């Protein structure tokens, strides 16, 4: 059984890129002082994914040590748009889109967080009531030079790309959030460093104790790029068990241990044993099956995890389908023939039609004809087999 100090050490190191101020935060955690731990998420898409789960799992670690989580849904800032990780201007989202996106955010968050120890806020609570003069006073705590020196803004300016004043104000709004909820600690990814520091700047200007900052590493998606809804390479918390299991199995082998550390709470000693086994020649597939089962168990329970593993083995291993297949993005209502051509599974639409007519296109052993219309409800997450060697997972 871990003692409290060991748990705190793991809290401050597992999946963590940087802590500001490490010694100060550790001392507060060891003291047993109850802290207010803040995380804000903008509803820029309907689903939370495993990339989002990294700070959420860290929040749960704080809760397990007796601290209060402040979960902010950025319904106001979601309309402004954070471009911390973007190379171009993020478009403004309408209020209607933001409302639709955040309909199930809390239900998804409760898959990880303890609802009874979570304080929920929508930042429109204070921003819609805030006078323009107050925003001016907050903005006065920053200089233009600080903002244009920011790496992603600097690069865009150097490349002659537009940087809107709206984007520059985003960190100010995030910092205001910290003041409003009296945050002791704020969590965020490494791409959020500038925004997280804005909270400390405003707290110092308002003569209140500065929040400590814990930055988590960013994880890569199923295609090896940063996991992002806009790129469609996500594993969503709302994915069905079979789909979630299959997507994890499609993750590149070099990411297996990163996923174990960041996206599960399997003990680090067990993860170290799995890593050692891979180094001495163990099959990465076995470790990946363990990973997929652990992730499905976390969001759907042990029974569904067992079922998902059995489904995967029956469908892929016994069906001679490779465990790692690329994804093909599909538009609802797309025709099979069009998908085959656009996904480079056929040289032309005529070739695609010929393959379907000859019975060479199937899902789960069921042959598809050229008139097949693809739908999310029926085909999402399924693996399309073309001929004997070509496979793609359909993602809507």
Count: domains in the chain: 3
**Would residue 356 count as lying in a domain?**
yes
Question: Residue 249: which CATH number?
Answer: 1.10.240.10
Domain with 384 in it: 325-396
**Would residue 226 count as lying in a domain?**
no
Same domain, 104 and 178: yes
Same domain, 306 and 356: no
C-alpha 290/C-alpha 305 separation (Å) is: 10
Same domain, 21 and 81: yes
At residue 87, does pLDDT exceed 80? Answer: no
Question: What pLDDT score was predicted for residue 323?
Answer: 63
C-alpha 218/C-alpha 226 separation (Å) is: 7
What is the value of pTM for the model shown? 0.79
Question: What pLDDT score was predicted for residue 216?
Answer: 97
**Would residue 129 count as lying in a domain?**
yes
Nearest to 183 by CA among 200, 170, 195, 161: 200
Cα separations in angstroms, 6 against 2, 29, 252, 320: 6, 12, 31, 45
Q: Considering 304, 322, 340, which residue would you say is the last residue of a domain?
A: 322
How confident is the model over 222-275, as pLDDT tens digits?
888 888 877 778 999 999 999 899 899 888 899 999 999 999 999 999 999 999
More confident residue, 160 or 200: 200
Residue ranges of the alpha helices (H) in the chain?
4-11, 22-31, 50-64, 77-80, 95-101, 105-109, 124-127, 132-139, 144-148, 151-158, 165-181, 193-205, 241-249, 256-263, 268-279, 284-300, 302-312, 336-342, 349-357, 376-379
Same domain, 107 and 156: yes
Same domain, 317 and 362: no
HSE of 231, CA atoms in CB hemisphere, 13 A: 16
Same domain, 317 and 331: no
Q: What is the mean pLDDT of the chain?
A: 89
Question: What pLDDT score was predicted for residue 1?
Answer: 43
Question: What pLDDT score was predicted for residue 168?
Answer: 84
Q: Considering 186, 220, 254, which residue would you say is the last residue of a domain?
A: 220
Question: What pLDDT score was predicted for residue 205?
Answer: 96
C-alpha 189/C-alpha 361 separation (Å) is: 42
Q: How many residues does the chain have?
A: 396
Same domain, 366 and 280: no
Q: Which two tokens stand for residue 278?
A: 């891979």
Same domain, 34 and 50: yes
Nearest to 392 by CA among 350, 354, 346: 346
What share of residues in the chain are helix, strand, coil (percent, to 5)?
Answer: 50, 15, 35
Q: Three-state DSSP class for 119?
A: strand
Q: Establish whether the linkage from the previous residue to 21 is cis, with ω within 30° of 0.
A: yes
How confident is the model over 166-215, as pLDDT tens digits?
888 899 999 999 999 999 999 999 999 999 999 999 999 999 999 999 99
C-alpha 53/C-alpha 56 separation (Å) is: 5
At residue 27, does pLDDT exceed 80? Answer: yes
**Would residue 202 count as lying in a domain?**
yes
Q: Which two tokens stand for residue 3?
A: 């003692």
Q: Which two tokens stand for residue 302?
A: 């042990």
Question: What pLDDT score was predicted for residue 317?
Answer: 63
Question: Residue 195: which CATH number?
Answer: 3.40.50.620
Question: What pLDDT score was predicted for residue 70?
Answer: 98
Q: Which two tokens stand for residue 361?
A: 């296109």
**Would residue 229 count as lying in a domain?**
no
Same domain, 10 and 130: yes
Q: Considering 322, 351, 382, which residue would you say is the last residue of a domain?
A: 322
What are the beta bridge partners of residue 289? none
How confident is the model over 282-307, as pLDDT tens digits?
888 899 999 999 999 999 999 999 99
Same domain, 336 and 317: no
Same domain, 151 and 211: yes
Q: If you search the block for the tokens 């907050």, which residue do you land on?
A: 138
**Would residue 382 count as lying in a domain?**
yes
How confident is the model over 327-376, as pLDDT tens digits?
888 888 889 999 898 888 888 888 889 888 888 888 877 888 888 998 87
Q: How confident is the model at residue 98 (pLDDT cuts 50, 70, 90)?
A: confident
Cα separations in angstroms, 7 against 4, 62, 263: 5, 10, 17
More confident residue, 208 or 157: 208
Question: What pLDDT score was predicted for residue 134?
Answer: 93
**Would residue 233 count as lying in a domain?**
no
How confident is the model over 193-202, as pLDDT tens digits?
999 999 999 9
Question: Residue 345: which CATH number?
Answer: 3.10.290.10
**Would residue 207 count as lying in a domain?**
yes
Question: What pLDDT score was predicted for residue 319?
Answer: 60
Phi-psi domain of 323 (left: phi exceeds 0; alpha: psi -120 through 50; beta: other):
alpha
Residue pair 363/385 in contact by the 8 Å Cβ criterion? yes
At residue 29, does pLDDT exceed 70? Answer: yes
Same domain, 287 and 174: no
At residue 86, does pLDDT exceed 60? Answer: no
């Amino acid at each position: 059984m871990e003692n409290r100090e060991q748990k705190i050490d793991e809290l401050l190191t597992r999946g963590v890129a940087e802590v500001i101020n490490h010694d100060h935060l550790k001392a507060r955690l060891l003291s047993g002082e109850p802290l207010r731990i803040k995380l804000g998420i903008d509803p820029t898409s309907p689903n939370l994914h495993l990339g989002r789960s990294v700070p959420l799992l860290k929040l749960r670690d704080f809760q397990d040590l007796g601290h209060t989580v402040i979960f902010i849904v950025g319904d106001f800032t979601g309309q402004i748009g954070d471009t911390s990780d973007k190379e171009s201007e993020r478009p403004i989202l309408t209020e209607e889109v933001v409302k639709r996106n955040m309909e199930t955010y809390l239900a998804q968050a409760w898959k990880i967080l303890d609802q009874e120890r979570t304080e929920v806020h929508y930042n429109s609570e204070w921003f819609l009531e805030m006078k323009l003069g107050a925003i001016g006073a907050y903005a006065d705590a920053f200089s233009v030079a600080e903002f244009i020196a920011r790496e992603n803004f600097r690069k865009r300016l150097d490349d002659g790309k537009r940087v809107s004043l709206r984007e520059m104000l985003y960190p100010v709004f995030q910092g205001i959030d910290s003041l409003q909820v009296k945050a002791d600690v704020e969590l965020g990814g490494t791409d959020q460093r500038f925004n997280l520091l804005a909270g400390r700047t405003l707290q110092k200007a308002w003569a209140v104790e500065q929040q400590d900052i814990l930055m988590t590493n960013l994880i890569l998606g199923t295609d090896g790029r940063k996991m992002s809804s806009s790129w469609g390479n996500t594993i969503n918390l709302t994915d069905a068990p079979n789909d979630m299991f299959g997507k994890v199995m499609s993750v590149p082998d070099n990411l297996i241990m990163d996923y174990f550390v960041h996206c599960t709470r399997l003990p680090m000693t067990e993860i170290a044993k799995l890593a050692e086994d891979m180094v001495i020649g163990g099959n990465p597939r076995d470790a990946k099956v363990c990973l997929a089962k652990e992730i499905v168990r976390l969001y759907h329970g042990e029974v569904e995890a067992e079922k998902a593993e059995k489904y995967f083995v029956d469908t892929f291993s016994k069906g001679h389908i490779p465990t790692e297949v690329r994804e093909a993005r599909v538009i609802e209502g797309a025709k099979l023939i069009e998908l085959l051509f656009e996904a480079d599974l056929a040289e032309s639409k005529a070739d695609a039609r010929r393959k379907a007519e000859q019975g060479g296109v199937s899902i789960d052993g069921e042959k598809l004809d050229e008139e097949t219309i693809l739908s999310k409800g029926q085909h999402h997450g399924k693996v399309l087999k073309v001929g004997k060697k070509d496979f793609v997972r359909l993602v809507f």
